[in-house]
Chain A
Amino acid sequence: MDFSLNELQTMMADSVGKFIDNEYDFDTRQEYAGSERGFSDDVWKTFAELGWMAVPFAEEDGGLGGGPAEIMVLMQSLARGLVVEPYIANVILAGGILKRFANETQKEQWLHPMIAGELQATLAFNEPQARYELANVATTATQDSNHWVLNGRKGLVLNGGTSDLLLIPARTAGDIGDEHGITLFAVAADSDGLSCNAYATVDGLRAAEITLEGVRVSGDAVLGNVDEGYAALSATIDDATLAVCAEAVGIMYALKDKTVQYSKDRSQFGVPIGSFQALQHRMVDMLMACEQAQSLLMWAVMTNAEGSDESRRAVSAMKYMIGTAGQKLGEEAVQIHGGMGVTWELDVAHYFKRLTAICTLFGNADWHLDKLAT
């Protein structure tokens, strides 16, 4: 039994921690979040140079061969800086599909440039009517001699507006809701018939609604086997769920620390507000929520690294915990910061908003609890 970090993990935690401390303070983050693209291309290059994009990929693909534990360490460290660069969209989502499905040519064309930071990619895992059901794919792809023609809509495509490449699950057989009959296509963002309505999300990140009207792609755009894309899609979303949960746990600790510090610094009635028992017990609850979430995260990461039968349940348990205890912790952090907690100026509000967005991403607490209840 060992909960300590190995050499690679420690190195990554150190290197991300230093980067956040030295080059990514809150004002800088806000500047990037408010810029036209919603993140910094320079920072993105730095990520690539430092090898962070390479973490979950096999060594023969230029990766570092990391697993869920390495991603956990990285995401927890990035969380502290509320990093807005599209790591989830590229590395976890698009990367998750590419590493599972791309053939050598496709890797050469898309995965390698993505790891190098030269190609922006994302996965359009959601449709407007689908809520959290991955198999609810109404977008269709029909074969036309050597080509496929795609029609449909994709919702909340993370970083969809700045992506060069969109990975699109489309229905090639079966009915909406069927796991069988979903195929993954790689579609260039500048394809004819593809339109994009990009917008900011409440957490300061970016997403887009994508419409596909008679978009033609060649047979080389198919990732994996026709009709058999669901398993990789679902496994990739599990990876992404764990990654955002790790980020959420990082945010929870940051909010807890900031709140405890604030309660020591802020005086009312002539004493620090942290001396009030009504607040002390609530901050203890925040600490306990952090520890419980951290514990579940380690369980989920270990079961997923082993690929055990429990891994799917572990992801849902983790996400449920974030969606309940995590959300509550965010609300408490704002409450204990009082008036300051509801201002745009303070970082606390922005941690809270990102935490809230994570609670919804990839299925909210109720949705995951239903998975566990049966």
Chain B
Amino acid sequence: MHVTFSAKELEFQEEVRTFFRDEYPDDIREIMDSGDELPPEMQIRWQKILYRRGWAATNWPVEYGGTGWSPVEKYIYAREEAHANAPLFIPFGMTMVAPVIYTYGSEEQKQRFLPDILASNVWWCQGYSEPGAGSDLASLKTRADLVGDHYVVNGTKTWTTLGQHADWIFCLVRTSSDVARRQEGISFLLIDMQTPGISVKPIILLDGKHEVNEIHFDNVEVPANNLVGEEGKGWTYGKVLLQHERTNSANTFRSQYRAKRLRIQASKSVRGAPPLESDGNFMRKLAAVEVELKGLEYTELRTLAAVASGKAPGPESSFLKIKGTEIVQAIDALYMEAAGYYSLPYRADPAVGEGSESLSSLHYFNHRKVTIFAGSNEIQKNIIAKHVLGL
């Protein structure tokens, strides 16, 4: 029983660390460290730096341009990336639709879509949820009717993250209502956002940000060869994708980084006040979160060790999602508490408060979403109850 890395793995860690030290642009780092939103231009610039280094597709097979890293190498990379506080890859193309395309797509689709995803030339968004289909995703109603050589799509998708910037959207659509189970008759369709009949309506979140959208499809004509895999099998493909999404949502390393920064912040005097570390209640709450986080780190390592020895990731991803998101929210609350009165100013111009104090409450509000999205934590508990406990 040990968690030491091999010499080769340590060498790799050093290589990654050096890369983040030397190649991570200062202007992007500055915004990331301030806790503010990263402009899309900078996001893409960073993703292209990774592409040129050959490190864009950490989860893809080598034949499509993936890194071919072992699970341990991926782990090391993710940790270094988080501890450098570098931007996360926008997941919709790279980690969500691409695995579906290279697993179930046609040769033509692979050649047409994967290179642009790899090089961050095309921005993707996700069309799963609908106004009437949230946690109960299989009740989705957006229809795609085959007419000649194209589908005619009608319906509404919602909570489409960063859809305002997207060039393409991947959608779960209903191609047949005449089915025994609601999970049947759903298909996986790729749609060009420029197609006539698509309109994007912003949804403003409680922190005042335009992050998600509602997307309407009004007789949108989509070429039939944009269907991935078989018609009616979309649910199966979509589930594969969600498992990727959940494993990534543990956020362990980001949370470690934020907890560490909070401890440093607490050791300093702000505006002449005594350092927060003299407040026993605050420090006990922080310590309690750190304990949970350490547990999560080792739970993730145990999952990783199982995957490295050839086991498929299963419902553990639900566990990581629940714990990981609870911890994200707990840390948000502590940052807000640490800021005190200076958690209250709302985008004051010029800014007030030290560092990112006045953004702390906005993160707290914004991150209410993390226990809701990617299958709410209650849905994750249903999954564990069924598939692990056999209830």
- Complex contact A370–B323 (CB within 8 A): no
B283 within 8 A of A: yes
Query: B291–A1 contact, CB under 8 A?
Result: no
Whether B3 lies near A1 (C-beta < 8 A) is yes
| Contact pick for A287, options B290, B296, B389, CB 8 Å | B389
Closest to B291 in A: A317
| Main DSSP-derived SS at the A contact region | helix
Chain B residues, CB < 8 A from A3: 1, 301-302, 305
Select one of A6, A284, A299, A321 contacting B384, CB under 8 A.
A284
A275 proximity list for chain B (CB < 8 A): 391
Evaluate contact between A1 and B283: CB separation under 8 angstroms.
Answer: no
Residues from chain B with a CB closer than 8 A to the CB of A264 are 390-391
B287 in contact with A372 (CB, 8 Å)? yes
Q: Give a binary string over B274-293; 1 marks a CB under 8 Å from any A CB, 0 the rest.
A: 00010010011011101110
CB-CB under 8 A from A288, the residues of chain B are: 319, 322-323, 384
User: Which residues of A are found within 8 Å of B299, using beta-carbon distances?
Assistant: 291-292, 295
A260/B294 contact (C-beta < 8 A), A288-B319, A372-B287 known: no
- B1 and A291 contact, CB distance less than 8 A: no
| B3 / chain A contacts, CB cutoff of 8 Å | 1, 302
Q: Quick one: given A260-B391, A291-B299, A296-B294, are A1 and B382 in contact (CB under 8 Å)?
A: no
Q: Which residues of B contact A372 (CB under 8 A)?
A: 284, 287, 290-291
* Interchain pairs with CB closer than 8 A, number: 115
Residues of B within 8 A of A280 (CB): 381-382, 385, 389, 391
For residue A299, which residues in chain B have a CB less than 8 angstroms away from its CB? 294-295, 297-298
CB of A281 within 8 A of CB of B284, answer no
Q: Is B304 on the interface with A (CB-CB < 8 A)?
A: yes
| Contact B283 A293, beta carbon cutoff 8 Å | no
Q: Interface digits, A352-374 against B, CB 8 Å rule (1 contact, 0 not)?
A: 00000000000000000110111
Q: Is the CB of B298 within 8 A of A321?
A: no
Given the complex of chains A and B, what is the CA–CA distance between A263 and B391 in angstroms? 8
Instruction: Give A275 to B385 CA distance when docked, in angstroms.
Output: 10
Chain B residue with the shortest CB-CB distance to A280: B385
Interface size on B, residues (CB 8 A): 39
Number of A residues whose C-beta is below 8 Å from B?
A: 40
**For chain A residues 281-314, which have a beta carbon within 8 Å of chain B?**
281, 283-285, 287-288, 291-296, 298-299, 301-302
CB contacts (< 8 Å) of B230 on chain A: these are none
- Give A348 Cβ to nearest chain B Cβ, in Å: 17
Tell me whether B1 and A298 are in contact (CB under 8 A): yes
> Any chain A CB within 8 A of the CB of B352?
no
- B194 CB contacts on chain A under 8 angstroms: none
Question: Which residues from A are CB-within-8-Å of B5?
Answer: 1
Q: Is A11 an interface residue (CB 8 A)?
A: no
Q: Is the CB of A295 within 8 A of B283?
A: no
Determine the distance from Cα of A2 to Cα of B72 in the docked complex, in whole angstroms. 11
* Closest partner residue, chain A, to B6 (CB atom): A1
Q: Do the beta carbons of B1 and A302 come within 8 Å of each other?
A: yes
Contact status B2-A295, CB under 8 Å = no
Q: For residue A240, give the distance in angstroms from its CB to the closest CB of chain B.
A: 20
A54 to B287, CA, bound (A): 36
Distance, CA A302 to CA B301, complexed state (A): 13
CB-CB under 8 A from A263, the residues of chain B are 391
Question: Is the beta-carbon distance between A291 and B391 smaller than 8 angstroms?
Answer: no
In the complex, B167 has a CB within 8 A of chain A: no
Counting CB contacts under 8 A, is B133 at the interface? no
B1 in complex: contacting residue of A2, A287, A324, CB < 8 Å: A2
| B382 / chain A contacts, CB cutoff of 8 Å | 277, 280
Q: Which listed residue, B72, B286, B390, touches A373 by the CB 8 Å rule?
A: B286
Instruction: Indicate if the CB atoms of B1 and A6 lie closer than 8 Å.
Output: yes
User: Closest CB of chain B to A162's CB: distance in Å?
Assistant: 34
Contacting pair B2 A2 (CB below 8 A)? yes
In chain B, positions 1-58 with a C-beta closer than 8 Å to chain A are: 1-5
**How far apart sit A299 and B296, CA to CA, in the bound complex (Å)?**
11
Answer whether residue A4 sits at the interface, using C-beta atoms and an 8 A cutoff.
yes
Q: Given the known A-B contacts A283-B391, A292-B296, A317-B294, are A2 and B305 also in contact in the complex, defined by CB atoms under 8 Å? A: yes
A314, chain B: closest CB distance, angstroms: 8
Given the interface contacts A288-B323, A295-B295, A301-B1, does A283 sit within 8 Å of B305 by beta carbon?
A: no
| Given contacts A1-B4, A2-B305, A296-B298, A291 and B319 within 8 Å (CB-CB) | yes
A317 to B298, CA, bound (A): 13
Q: Please give me the residue from chain B that is nearest to A2 by CB atom.
A: B2
Interface residues of A, Cβ cutoff 8 Å to B: 1-6, 9, 69, 260, 263-264, 274-275, 277, 280-281, 283-285, 287-288, 291-296, 298-299, 301-302, 317, 320-321, 324, 369-370, 372-374
29 sample A-B contacts, Cβ–Cβ < 8 Å, listed by A number: A1-B2, A1-B305, A2-B2, A3-B302, A264-B390, A274-B391, A280-B391, A281-B378, A281-B381, A281-B385, A284-B389, A285-B381, A292-B295, A292-B323, A294-B302, A295-B297, A295-B298, A296-B295, A296-B298, A299-B294, A299-B295, A317-B291, A320-B287, A320-B291, A321-B291, A370-B280, A372-B290, A373-B280, A374-B277
Besides A280-B391, A284-B381, A298-B302, 10 new A-B residue pairs in contact (Cβ under 8 A), listed by A number: A1-B2, A1-B304, A260-B391, A280-B381, A287-B388, A287-B389, A324-B288, A372-B284, A373-B283, A373-B286
Closest 4 CB pairs of A and B: A295-B298, A292-B295, A372-B287, A373-B283
